[in-house]
Amino acid sequence: AAYLLTHGHMDHIHALADVCDAAPAPVAMHGDDLAWSFTEENILPPYYTVAPRRPKGTIRAITGGQEYTDGGLHYKVLHTPGHAPGCVCFYFETSKVLFTGDTLFAGSVGRTDLPGGSSTVLTRSLASLARLPDDTVIYPGHGPDTTMAREKRTNYFMQQ
Predicted confidence (pLDDT) per residue in 55-69, tens digit? 998 899 999 999 999
| Burial profile 80-106: b = 16 or more Cβ within 10 angstroms, e = fewer | bbbbbbbbbbbbbeeeebbbbbbbbbb
* AA letter at 20: C
Q: What is the mean pLDDT of residues 109-130?
A: 97
Q: What is the mean pLDDT of residues 129-137?
A: 98
Write the CA distances from 19 to 2, 75, 131, 139, 141, integer angstroms: 12, 22, 34, 21, 17
What does the pLDDT read at residue 25? Answer: 95
Confidence band of 4 (pLDDT split at 50, 70, 90)? very high
What does the pLDDT read at residue 160? Answer: 72
Q: What is the mean pLDDT of residues 3-10?
A: 97
